[in-house]
Amino acid sequence: SKGWYKEVIQILHAKFGLNSFRPNQAEAINETLSGQDVVVLMPTGGGKSLCYQLPALVKSGTTKGTTIVISPLISLMEDQVYHLKNLNIKAEMVNSKLDADTRSEVISTLVKGELELVYISPEMLSISRVMQMALQTMYDKHILARIVIDEAHCVSAWGHDFRPDYMALTKVKNDYPGIPIMALTATANNQVLLDIVNCARPNPLVLKQSFNRTNLLYEVRKKGPKVVNEIAEICLNYGGKSGIIYCRSKKDCETTAEKLRSHGVSAEHYHAGLDSETRSKVQKNWQESRTHVVCATIAFGMGIDKPDVRYVIHMSMPQNMEGYYQETGRAGRDGRMSKVYLFYKFGEYLNIRRMILEEQEVQRDIREHKASLLLKVMQYCENTVDCRRKQVLQYFNETFDSRLCEMKCDNCVAMRGQTVVCQDVTELAKD
Ligand code: ADP
Ligand code: MG
Ligand code: ZN
C-alpha cells in the first residue's frame, strides 16, 4: 500500500477522533494524495469534508503545503473553520465579511505557508487581485497542496443552486498546472456532473456511491385547506423530536409557525428577511432542541449538521428533485429512522411554474429548463404507483429495485403492503 497509509490512519484517530472510514473516503484521500484529480459524489451527511480535511494534514503524500477550499456560503465556512480550530488544525478563511486588516493578515500567513487549510469564497478568488497574487506566489513556492471545490454543483447552470462566481473555477486547472483538484457534491445528475468534471483535468477519478437513504420513510400527500392542522398533528405525534417544515414564502413561514404554536407545537420561523442575530438565535434554539420545529424557507439548512432531525415536511412542492433530495436529506443524519412528507396541489404547481417562467433576469432556456425540473417534481407527486425511492434515485440516474424499499414509502405500502407498515415513526422515535 501507499507510503502515507500509516500517517492517514494515525490522523484519522488522533486528530479527528474517528475509528474508521465511511464508503469512498479512503479512496478519495488516497487518490488526492497521489496527485490525482477526484470528483466525489456523496449524499448529504456522507462525510465529504473529511475527504479533503484529512489529506491537508498529511506530510508524507506527494503534495506539500496548504489546501485551498472554495465554499459557497460564509456560514458554511465559519462552521467548518471553527470546528477545525477546535481540533487544533491551522485553518482560516478569506471572504468579504472579514475586515480588510484581518484579511491581509490571513493572506500573509497563507503566503508564508503557515496554514494547513484555507477556505476562500468564490468571489474572492475571481475578483481579488491580492488573493490571486497570493495563490500565484504559493504556486511558485510549491506550497499550494491542492484545490478543493466544495458544493461543486454550484458551477452548473443546470443544477439547482448555480452561482455565477463558481464559473471561474473551471479555469483553476489551467491557472495552477499540476495542482490536484478535488470537487465534491451531494447532488449531481448527468448534466451537472459533466460541468463538475470539466473543472478537473481530463479523466478524473469519479467516486460515486448510492444515494439511497435507507433510513428515510417517504410520503406524499395532496394538500387541502386544512394542511396546517394536518401538519400540527404530525408534529404533535413526534412529541419533542426535532423537525423542519419547508415553506414557500417568508409569509408562509411566519403564519405556519404561529398556527402551529396555537396547536401547542413548539415552533419558530426562519427566513432571509430576519436580521442575522434573530436568524442565529432561531437556529441555535432549534439546534439545541429548545424549540422543536422550524418553519423555514430553503435558506435554512445548508451547512447545518443536526444529526437527530426526525422529520422534514415540505408544505409546498420543492422546485426540483435535487432540492427535494437535499432538503429531505437533512432528516436522519444519525442513521435512525426518520420520515419525510411532501404536500402538493396542482394549482400551486401552476403558480410556481408561472413564477419561474416570468423570472426576468434569467436566460430563457434556463427558465424553460427550470420549468422542466419542476414538472418532474409534479410527476413524482402524481405517480402513486412506483416506489418513491425508485423515483428519487432514478432522477440521479441510479437504478433501484423497489423490493429493496422494504415498504418504507407510501406507494410500496399502497401497491404491495398487506397491512399498513408505513406508520408514523413515533414509536421508533420514542426509544
Ligand atoms: P457532507 O459534507 O458529506 O454532508 P460532513 O462532511 O459534514 O458531510 O459530515 C457529516 C458528519 O459525518 C459529520 O458530523 C462528520 O463528523 C461525520 N463523519 C464524517 N466521516 C466520518 C467517519 N469516517 N466516521 C464517523 N463520522 C464521520
Ligand atoms: Mg459538506
Ligand atoms: Zn418504496
User: pLDDT, tens digit, for every residue of 58-89?
Assistant: 998 777 899 999 999 888 899 899 999 999 99
Residue nearest to atom 21 of ligand 1 (CA): 47
Closest-lying ligand 1 atom to the alpha carbon of residue 18: 24
Which residues does ligand 1 sit against, CB inside 6 Å? 18, 21-22, 25, 42, 44-50, 186, 305
DSSP-assigned beta bridge partners for residue 244: 294, 312
Q: What sign results for the dihedral spanned by CA atoms 381, 386, 392, 395?
A: negative
ipTM given for this complex: 0.98
Among 160, 154, 165, 94, which residue's Cα sits nearest to residue 130? Answer: 94
Closest-lying ligand 1 atom to the alpha carbon of residue 16: 16
- State the distance from the centre of ligand 2 to the C-alpha of 307, rounded, in angstroms: 14
Residue nearest to atom 20 of ligand 1 (CA): 47
Residue nearest to atom 14 of ligand 1 (CA): 305
Among 71, 78, 22, which residue's Cα sits nearest to residue 50? Answer: 22
Average pLDDT, integer, range 81-107: 94
Q: Write out the three cell numbers for 391.
A: 423515483
Give the pLDDT confidence of 188-198 residue by residue, as tens digits.
788 889 999 99
Residue nearest to atom 25 of ligand 1 (CA): 18
Residue nearest to atom 18 of ligand 1 (CA): 47
For residue 182, how far is the Cα from the chain centroid? 16
Percent of the chain with pLDDT strictly greater than 90: 73
pLDDT at 425 over 70: no
Q: Note the ligand closest to the C-alpha atom of 384.
A: 3
Give the pLDDT confidence of 176-185 residue by residue, as tens digits.
999 999 999 9
Average pLDDT, integer, range 340-346: 98
Residue 274 binned pLDDT confidence (cut-offs 50, 70, 90)? very high
| Model pLDDT, residue 1 | 55
| Model pLDDT, residue 180 | 96
pLDDT at 98 over 50: yes
pLDDT at 301 over 90: no
Q: Note the ligand closest to the C-alpha atom of 383.
A: 3
| Model pLDDT, residue 211 | 86
Q: Write out the three cell numbers for 333.
A: 443524519
Closest-lying ligand 1 atom to the alpha carbon of residue 19: 24
Q: Note the ligand closest to the C-alpha atom of 119.
A: 2
- State the distance from the centre of ligand 2 to the C-alpha of 215, rounded, in angstroms: 20
The upper half-sphere exposure of residue 208, i.e. CA atoms within 13 Å in the direction of its Cβ, equals: 12
pLDDT at 429 over 60: no
Judged by DSSP in three states, 101 sits in: helix
pLDDT at 295 over 90: yes
Give the pLDDT confidence of 386-418 residue by residue, as tens digits.
999 999 999 887 889 999 999 999 999 998 876
Average pLDDT, integer, range 210-227: 95
Q: Which residue has the higher pLDDT, 193 or 160?
A: 193
| Model pLDDT, residue 431 | 40
Residue nearest to atom 10 of ligand 1 (CA): 45
Residue ranges of E strands in 30-160: 38-41, 66-70, 91-94, 117-120, 144-149
Contact residues for 265 (Cβ-Cβ < 8 A; gap 6+): 232, 235, 236, 292, 293
Closest-lying ligand 1 atom to the alpha carbon of residue 46: 3
Give the pLDDT confidence of 141-156 residue by residue, as tens digits.
999 999 999 999 999 8
pLDDT at 427 over 80: no
Average pLDDT, integer, range 194-216: 92
Q: Note the ligand closest to the C-alpha atom of 150.
A: 2
Mutation probe of ligand 1 site: the residue of 9, 89, 305, 306 with most atoms within 8 A of C-beta: 305
pLDDT at 422 over 70: no
Mutation probe of ligand 1 site: the residue of 50, 82, 86, 209 with most atoms within 8 A of C-beta: 50
Q: At what angle do helices 388-395 and 364-382 cross, to 10 degrees?
A: 160
Spatial separation of the C-alpha atoms in residues 281 and 317, rounded to whole Å: 27
